[in-house]
Amino acid sequence: MKAVTWQGPSKISVEDVPDPTIQDPSDAIVEITTTGLCGSDLHLYEPLAPFMTPGDIVGHEPMGIVREVGPGVSKLKVGDRVVVPFNISCGSCWTCERGLYSQCETTQNHEHGTGASLFGFSSLYGAVPGGQAELLRVPFADFLPVKVPEGPVDDRFVFLSDVLPTAWQGVEYADCPADGTLLIMGAGPIGDMAARIAMHRGIRVIVVDRVPERLARVRARGAETIDLDAVDDVAEEVRSRTGGRGADAVIDAVGMEAHGNPVAEKAIKAVGLLPDAVAKPLMMSAGFDRLAALHASLDAVRRGGTVSLLGVYGGAADPMPLMQMFDKQLQLRMGQANVRRWTDDIMPLLVDDADPLGTEQFVTHRLPLAEAPEAYAKFQGKQDEMIKVVFTP
């Protein structure tokens, strides 16, 4: 089959690789019809390079049709239409039983001390082949894949793999009062979808970014916006729009931004020259992240408010303003989305004819797998008015 593979920092290629096979009785093989490109893939593209192995199949936002099931699978049939959550959860361990699917104890990674294994996410998360491919092996097939109805186009459902439950969890964790103001840092796919979900609940939303078409898109759906490059101080601007107090809650949908950050880019280059044993711990602790969005979030939230962190951060060197956080009595919630925890809650909005979250207009670029290398580069550079890319293998 054809698959999108990582070959080195900023090097993606489409290769012919062996078809996946059933390895465990509870596996299924899914033929992928639509599969997303995500901001998280950009972390693998460059900053997480030391955890990647050339040839790794990337991607974690797939949906498709079940082509084969193992002998232990009873609930899923060949021909079923499914979306595959990005985190691999067994559904029956201690953490899964508590809805903490991104922490699944069955698939946790003891080598790096990380949570549930993820599709297409390097050795840091279990080195499981990803979903930007023609076929995908899906473990725990009786629990993990989300069955979706026949009829509506893939775009209605494909974002159940990541974007929708992630944005949903961000809004849930932000816990913004119905009459409050929610600030969202970042108008990429995740921030945009979080804005849609919050506005669907009637919450006032302000979104911050610097990419004009991304700001225009959230504005067109009713959000207020702040252009990062047009204000001196985001938090000050937010306070001026909220009676001096700040936002009731903030969602950080940015995360580490290595690209365009000279310190980070230097670190990434240096790491490529070092042996793994030195490079891996360095990348886990290096100050290569630009934590601007996180610091602005902590500043812009009102006293007693909540910061909900969806953006992925990898470094540890930039000190957190603990005095400010303590003094303002903040709550901070974060983590990988517990995808399976939210899928049933979201489904009614996806089968609603009115498409209240606008899933059918969410994709800006629909491309064959063969165009993945260009798509990665353009998505990283925010070129071509690219906001959400899906591949159609």
Residues that bind ligand NAD (CB under 6 A): 38-40, 42-43, 162, 166, 185-191, 208-211, 214, 228, 253-255, 257, 292-293, 310-312, 336-337
Which does residue 314 bind out of ligand NAD, Zn ion, none, counting CB within 5 to 8 angstroms by kind?
none
CA gap 194, 310 in Å, rounded: 10
Show the binding pattern over residues 91-130: x = contacts Zn ion (CB under 5 A), - = does not.
--x--x-------x-x------------------------
Residue of minimal CB distance from Zn ion? 38
- List Cβ neighbours of 66 (8 Å cut-off, separation of 6 or more): 28, 29, 30, 31, 76, 77, 78, 79, 80, 81, 82, 141, 145
Least Å from the CB of residue 110 to Zn ion: 14
Given its phi and psi angles, is residue 56 left (phi above 0), alpha (psi -120 to 50 degrees) or beta? beta
Q: Which two tokens stand for residue 104?
A: 């699944």
What are the Cα distances from residue 37, in Å, to 11, 53, 178, 259, 355? 15, 19, 32, 17, 22
Amino acid letter, residue 49? A
Q: Please pick, from the candidates 46, 162, 252, 289, the single residue that binds Zn ion as defined by CB under 5 A.
A: 162
Residue 84 or 187 with smaller CB distance to ligand NAD: 187
Which does residue 191 bind out of ligand NAD, Zn ion, none, counting CB within 5 to 8 angstroms by kind?
ligand NAD
Which does residue 90 bind out of ligand NAD, Zn ion, none, counting CB within 5 to 8 angstroms by kind?
Zn ion
Q: Please give the biggest Cα pair distance in the chain.
A: 62
**Are the CB atoms for 251 and 195 separated by under 8 Å?**
no
- For residue 269, give the 3-state DSSP assignment: helix
Residue 67 or 108 with smaller CB distance to ligand NAD: 108
Please list every residue from 11 through 40 that binds Zn ion, using CB under 5 A. Answer: 38, 40
Residue 187 or 369 with smaller CB distance to ligand NAD: 187
- Which residues are near Zn ion by CB under 5 A? 38, 40, 89-90, 93, 96, 104, 106, 162
